[in-house]
Amino acid sequence: MPSTPALSLRDALLAVAIMAVWGSNFSVVSVVLADGMPPLLFASLRFTFAVLPAIFFLPRPNVPWSKFAAYGLLIGVGQFGLLFLAMRGHITPGLASLIAQTQVFFTIAMAVAISGERVRPFQVLAVLLAATGVAVIISHTDGSTTPYGLALVIIAAVAWAGANMVTRTLPGINMVSFIVWASLFSAPPLFALSLWVEGWPAIRDSLANAGLQTWAAVAYQSFGNTLFGFAMWGWLLARYPAATIAPMSLLVPVFGMGIAALWLSEPLPPWKMVAAALVMAGLAVNILWPRVAAIRGARNAPAA
Protein backbone atom coordinates (compact mmCIF):
# COMPACT_ATOMS: atom_id res chain seq x y z
CA MET A 1 0.00 0.00 0.00
CA PRO A 2 1.61 3.34 -0.99
CA SER A 3 2.36 5.68 1.87
CA THR A 4 0.89 9.16 2.14
CA PRO A 5 3.59 11.83 1.60
CA ALA A 6 4.35 13.69 4.81
CA LEU A 7 3.90 17.46 4.69
CA SER A 8 7.36 18.97 5.12
CA LEU A 9 7.91 21.63 7.79
CA ARG A 10 8.62 24.24 5.13
CA ASP A 11 5.43 23.46 3.23
CA ALA A 12 3.39 23.29 6.44
CA LEU A 13 4.61 26.78 7.41
CA LEU A 14 3.84 28.02 3.90
CA ALA A 15 0.30 26.63 4.20
CA VAL A 16 -0.16 28.34 7.59
CA ALA A 17 1.02 31.65 6.09
CA ILE A 18 -1.53 31.29 3.28
CA MET A 19 -4.26 30.60 5.82
CA ALA A 20 -3.30 33.71 7.81
CA VAL A 21 -3.63 35.85 4.66
CA TRP A 22 -6.94 34.24 3.74
CA GLY A 23 -8.27 34.51 7.29
CA SER A 24 -7.57 38.24 7.38
CA ASN A 25 -9.28 38.60 4.01
CA PHE A 26 -12.79 38.39 5.45
CA SER A 27 -12.25 41.38 7.73
CA VAL A 28 -10.75 43.37 4.85
CA VAL A 29 -13.70 42.55 2.59
CA SER A 30 -16.29 43.39 5.26
CA VAL A 31 -14.74 46.82 5.90
CA VAL A 32 -14.64 47.74 2.20
CA LEU A 33 -18.17 46.51 1.49
CA ALA A 34 -19.44 48.39 4.56
CA ASP A 35 -17.92 51.54 3.03
CA GLY A 36 -20.19 51.10 0.01
CA MET A 37 -18.01 49.40 -2.60
CA PRO A 38 -20.30 47.22 -4.79
CA PRO A 39 -19.28 43.58 -4.26
CA LEU A 40 -18.99 42.53 -7.92
CA LEU A 41 -16.99 45.65 -8.73
CA PHE A 42 -14.68 44.93 -5.79
CA ALA A 43 -14.16 41.37 -7.04
CA SER A 44 -13.44 42.58 -10.59
CA LEU A 45 -10.85 45.08 -9.30
CA ARG A 46 -9.19 42.31 -7.33
CA PHE A 47 -8.56 40.26 -10.47
CA THR A 48 -7.83 43.25 -12.70
CA PHE A 49 -4.80 44.12 -10.60
CA ALA A 50 -3.82 40.47 -10.40
CA VAL A 51 -3.48 40.67 -14.21
CA LEU A 52 -2.00 44.16 -14.56
CA PRO A 53 0.84 44.83 -14.88
CA ALA A 54 2.18 41.32 -14.10
CA ILE A 55 0.94 39.78 -17.35
CA PHE A 56 3.45 41.89 -19.32
CA PHE A 57 6.36 40.37 -17.37
CA LEU A 58 5.31 36.75 -16.86
CA PRO A 59 5.22 34.38 -19.85
CA ARG A 60 2.10 32.31 -20.36
CA PRO A 61 2.60 28.79 -18.97
CA ASN A 62 2.31 25.93 -21.44
CA VAL A 63 -1.22 25.09 -20.34
CA PRO A 64 -4.36 24.69 -22.49
CA TRP A 65 -6.55 27.77 -22.59
CA SER A 66 -9.41 25.63 -21.30
CA LYS A 67 -7.63 25.25 -17.95
CA PHE A 68 -7.03 29.00 -17.67
CA ALA A 69 -10.70 29.59 -18.43
CA ALA A 70 -11.97 26.93 -16.03
CA TYR A 71 -9.84 28.14 -13.15
CA GLY A 72 -10.48 31.83 -13.81
CA LEU A 73 -14.25 31.42 -13.96
CA LEU A 74 -14.44 29.07 -10.96
CA ILE A 75 -12.27 31.24 -8.70
CA GLY A 76 -13.34 34.63 -10.00
CA VAL A 77 -17.07 34.42 -10.67
CA GLY A 78 -17.83 31.19 -8.81
CA GLN A 79 -15.92 31.73 -5.59
CA PHE A 80 -15.29 35.40 -5.03
CA GLY A 81 -18.17 36.88 -6.99
CA LEU A 82 -20.65 34.84 -4.95
CA LEU A 83 -18.74 35.25 -1.68
CA PHE A 84 -18.63 39.04 -1.97
CA LEU A 85 -22.33 39.15 -2.86
CA ALA A 86 -23.12 37.10 0.24
CA MET A 87 -21.00 39.32 2.49
CA ARG A 88 -22.92 42.41 1.42
CA GLY A 89 -25.39 42.11 4.31
CA HIS A 90 -26.36 38.44 3.95
CA ILE A 91 -23.75 36.74 6.15
CA THR A 92 -21.26 37.82 8.81
CA PRO A 93 -17.50 37.75 8.09
CA GLY A 94 -16.85 35.08 10.75
CA LEU A 95 -19.58 32.78 9.50
CA ALA A 96 -18.51 33.33 5.90
CA SER A 97 -14.93 32.36 6.75
CA LEU A 98 -16.30 29.20 8.35
CA ILE A 99 -18.78 28.06 5.71
CA ALA A 100 -16.28 28.71 2.91
CA GLN A 101 -14.14 25.94 4.37
CA THR A 102 -16.67 23.31 3.41
CA GLN A 103 -14.54 23.33 0.26
CA VAL A 104 -12.30 20.91 2.17
CA PHE A 105 -14.95 18.22 2.04
CA PHE A 106 -15.92 19.03 -1.56
CA THR A 107 -12.24 18.92 -2.61
CA ILE A 108 -11.60 15.55 -0.98
CA ALA A 109 -14.83 14.12 -2.42
CA MET A 110 -13.92 15.34 -5.91
CA ALA A 111 -10.40 13.90 -5.59
CA VAL A 112 -11.85 10.52 -4.62
CA ALA A 113 -14.43 10.59 -7.44
CA ILE A 114 -12.20 12.01 -10.19
CA SER A 115 -8.68 10.93 -9.33
CA GLY A 116 -9.37 7.76 -7.39
CA GLU A 117 -7.45 8.98 -4.34
CA ARG A 118 -7.78 6.94 -1.17
CA VAL A 119 -8.53 8.64 2.10
CA ARG A 120 -6.50 7.15 4.97
CA PRO A 121 -8.06 6.48 8.40
CA PHE A 122 -5.90 9.13 10.11
CA GLN A 123 -7.11 11.70 7.56
CA VAL A 124 -10.72 10.81 8.40
CA LEU A 125 -9.88 11.36 12.08
CA ALA A 126 -8.22 14.69 11.25
CA VAL A 127 -11.25 15.92 9.29
CA LEU A 128 -13.64 14.75 12.04
CA LEU A 129 -11.70 16.64 14.71
CA ALA A 130 -11.58 19.80 12.62
CA ALA A 131 -15.23 19.40 11.59
CA THR A 132 -16.17 19.14 15.28
CA GLY A 133 -14.53 22.51 15.81
CA VAL A 134 -16.49 23.88 12.86
CA ALA A 135 -19.70 22.46 14.37
CA VAL A 136 -18.95 24.22 17.66
CA ILE A 137 -18.70 27.52 15.79
CA ILE A 138 -21.96 26.88 13.91
CA SER A 139 -23.79 26.03 17.14
CA HIS A 140 -22.85 29.41 18.60
CA THR A 141 -23.68 31.68 15.68
CA ASP A 142 -26.11 34.46 16.42
CA GLY A 143 -28.33 33.83 13.43
CA SER A 144 -27.32 37.05 11.69
CA THR A 145 -27.36 35.44 8.27
CA THR A 146 -29.89 34.52 5.59
CA PRO A 147 -30.57 31.33 3.63
CA TYR A 148 -29.60 33.28 0.51
CA GLY A 149 -26.23 34.22 1.98
CA LEU A 150 -25.59 30.70 3.24
CA ALA A 151 -26.45 29.20 -0.17
CA LEU A 152 -24.16 31.64 -1.98
CA VAL A 153 -21.18 30.77 0.23
CA ILE A 154 -21.76 27.02 -0.11
CA ILE A 155 -21.90 27.33 -3.91
CA ALA A 156 -18.73 29.44 -3.69
CA ALA A 157 -17.08 26.61 -1.73
CA VAL A 158 -18.04 24.10 -4.45
CA ALA A 159 -16.51 26.42 -7.07
CA TRP A 160 -13.32 26.68 -4.99
CA ALA A 161 -13.12 22.88 -4.81
CA GLY A 162 -13.53 22.69 -8.58
CA ALA A 163 -10.67 25.18 -9.03
CA ASN A 164 -8.54 23.06 -6.69
CA MET A 165 -9.08 20.09 -8.99
CA VAL A 166 -7.87 22.16 -11.97
CA THR A 167 -4.61 23.11 -10.25
CA ARG A 168 -4.00 19.49 -9.27
CA THR A 169 -3.60 18.69 -12.96
CA LEU A 170 -0.77 21.24 -13.36
CA PRO A 171 2.33 19.94 -11.56
CA GLY A 172 5.63 21.65 -12.30
CA ILE A 173 4.31 24.90 -13.78
CA ASN A 174 4.90 28.43 -12.52
CA MET A 175 1.74 28.91 -10.45
CA VAL A 176 2.13 32.69 -10.14
CA SER A 177 2.14 32.95 -13.94
CA PHE A 178 -0.82 30.59 -14.14
CA ILE A 179 -2.87 32.67 -11.66
CA VAL A 180 -2.06 35.88 -13.53
CA TRP A 181 -3.09 34.48 -16.92
CA ALA A 182 -6.15 32.71 -15.49
CA SER A 183 -7.29 36.03 -14.02
CA LEU A 184 -7.92 37.15 -17.61
CA PHE A 185 -11.02 34.97 -17.36
CA SER A 186 -12.03 36.36 -13.96
CA ALA A 187 -11.91 40.15 -14.28
CA PRO A 188 -13.94 40.75 -17.51
CA PRO A 189 -16.98 38.60 -16.59
CA LEU A 190 -17.01 40.05 -13.07
CA PHE A 191 -16.98 43.59 -14.45
CA ALA A 192 -19.73 42.68 -16.95
CA LEU A 193 -21.83 41.28 -14.09
CA SER A 194 -21.15 44.41 -12.02
CA LEU A 195 -22.29 46.59 -14.91
CA TRP A 196 -25.45 44.49 -15.31
CA VAL A 197 -26.36 43.98 -11.64
CA GLU A 198 -24.92 47.05 -9.90
CA GLY A 199 -25.15 49.56 -12.74
CA TRP A 200 -22.78 52.14 -14.17
CA PRO A 201 -23.79 54.97 -11.75
CA ALA A 202 -22.82 52.82 -8.74
CA ILE A 203 -19.55 51.83 -10.40
CA ARG A 204 -18.71 55.43 -11.37
CA ASP A 205 -19.53 56.86 -7.95
CA SER A 206 -17.69 54.12 -6.09
CA LEU A 207 -14.51 54.58 -8.12
CA ALA A 208 -14.70 58.36 -7.81
CA ASN A 209 -15.09 58.21 -4.02
CA ALA A 210 -12.68 55.37 -3.31
CA GLY A 211 -10.10 56.36 -0.74
CA LEU A 212 -6.72 55.04 0.31
CA GLN A 213 -8.29 52.31 2.48
CA THR A 214 -10.26 50.93 -0.47
CA TRP A 215 -7.28 50.87 -2.84
CA ALA A 216 -5.07 49.33 -0.15
CA ALA A 217 -7.70 46.59 0.25
CA VAL A 218 -7.76 46.02 -3.52
CA ALA A 219 -3.95 45.72 -3.52
CA TYR A 220 -4.06 43.27 -0.61
CA GLN A 221 -6.70 41.23 -2.40
CA SER A 222 -4.77 41.19 -5.67
CA PHE A 223 -1.21 40.61 -4.52
CA GLY A 224 -1.48 38.98 -1.10
CA ASN A 225 -4.65 36.97 -1.44
CA THR A 226 -4.55 36.07 -5.14
CA LEU A 227 -0.95 36.08 -6.40
CA PHE A 228 0.62 34.79 -3.20
CA GLY A 229 -2.23 32.86 -1.61
CA PHE A 230 -3.76 31.04 -4.56
CA ALA A 231 -0.48 30.55 -6.44
CA MET A 232 1.17 28.88 -3.45
CA TRP A 233 -2.01 26.94 -2.63
CA GLY A 234 -2.12 25.59 -6.18
CA TRP A 235 1.56 24.63 -5.91
CA LEU A 236 0.88 22.67 -2.71
CA LEU A 237 -2.16 20.94 -4.23
CA ALA A 238 -0.07 19.83 -7.20
CA ARG A 239 2.60 18.46 -4.83
CA TYR A 240 0.51 16.56 -2.24
CA PRO A 241 -2.72 14.51 -2.16
CA ALA A 242 -5.86 16.62 -1.69
CA ALA A 243 -6.61 14.93 1.66
CA THR A 244 -3.22 16.11 2.94
CA ILE A 245 -3.50 19.75 1.87
CA ALA A 246 -7.22 20.60 1.80
CA PRO A 247 -7.76 20.29 5.60
CA MET A 248 -5.17 23.05 6.15
CA SER A 249 -7.78 25.56 5.02
CA LEU A 250 -9.76 24.78 8.15
CA LEU A 251 -7.31 27.17 9.81
CA VAL A 252 -8.92 30.04 7.90
CA PRO A 253 -11.83 30.57 10.34
CA VAL A 254 -9.39 30.39 13.26
CA PHE A 255 -7.36 33.24 11.81
CA GLY A 256 -10.55 34.92 10.66
CA MET A 257 -12.02 35.01 14.17
CA GLY A 258 -8.75 36.09 15.76
CA ILE A 259 -8.12 38.93 13.33
CA ALA A 260 -11.75 40.08 13.54
CA ALA A 261 -11.39 40.17 17.34
CA LEU A 262 -8.23 42.29 17.15
CA TRP A 263 -9.24 44.56 14.29
CA LEU A 264 -13.04 44.75 14.43
CA SER A 265 -13.35 44.14 18.21
CA GLU A 266 -15.51 41.06 17.69
CA PRO A 267 -15.82 39.04 20.94
CA LEU A 268 -13.62 35.98 21.46
CA PRO A 269 -15.47 33.89 24.10
CA PRO A 270 -14.24 30.51 25.45
CA TRP A 271 -16.27 28.48 22.96
CA LYS A 272 -14.29 30.04 20.11
CA MET A 273 -11.06 29.00 21.80
CA VAL A 274 -12.37 25.43 22.14
CA ALA A 275 -13.35 25.39 18.48
CA ALA A 276 -9.92 26.69 17.46
CA ALA A 277 -8.24 23.99 19.58
CA LEU A 278 -10.26 21.26 17.85
CA VAL A 279 -9.37 22.59 14.42
CA MET A 280 -5.69 22.76 15.40
CA ALA A 281 -5.85 19.19 16.75
CA GLY A 282 -7.24 17.95 13.44
CA LEU A 283 -4.51 19.72 11.52
CA ALA A 284 -1.83 18.32 13.87
CA VAL A 285 -3.06 14.77 13.22
CA ASN A 286 -3.11 15.40 9.47
CA ILE A 287 0.45 16.78 9.40
CA LEU A 288 2.20 14.74 12.09
CA TRP A 289 0.68 11.25 11.65
CA PRO A 290 2.70 10.37 8.50
CA ARG A 291 5.89 11.57 10.19
CA VAL A 292 5.24 9.47 13.30
CA ALA A 293 4.35 6.45 11.15
CA ALA A 294 7.55 6.88 9.12
CA ILE A 295 9.69 7.08 12.28
CA ARG A 296 8.03 4.00 13.76
CA GLY A 297 8.41 2.13 10.50
CA ALA A 298 12.13 2.99 10.37
CA ARG A 299 12.63 1.82 13.94
CA ASN A 300 10.79 -1.46 13.34
CA ALA A 301 12.49 -2.23 10.05
CA PRO A 302 14.87 -5.19 10.20
CA ALA A 303 18.54 -4.30 10.18
CA ALA A 304 20.34 -4.82 6.88
Contact by Cβ (8 Å): 46, 83: no
Per the model's pLDDT, the better-predicted residue between 290 and 202 turns out to be: 202
Per the model's pLDDT, the better-predicted residue between 230 and 157 turns out to be: 157
Is residue 150 pLDDT above 90, yes or no? Answer: no
Per the model's pLDDT, the better-predicted residue between 202 and 106 turns out to be: 202
CA 181, 182, 188, 191 torsion-angle sign: negative
pTM of the model: 0.77
The predicted model gives 7-30 an average pLDDT of 86
pLDDT-derived band at 72 (thresholds 50, 70, 90) equals very high
Q: Distance between CA atoms of 187 and 45, rounded to whole angstroms?
A: 7
pLDDT of residue 1: 40
Helix locations, the chain, DSSP H:
9-34, 39-51, 65-72, 82-87, 93-99, 103-110, 121-139, 147-167, 175-182, 187-197, 200-209, 212-219, 231-239, 242-245, 252-263, 270-300
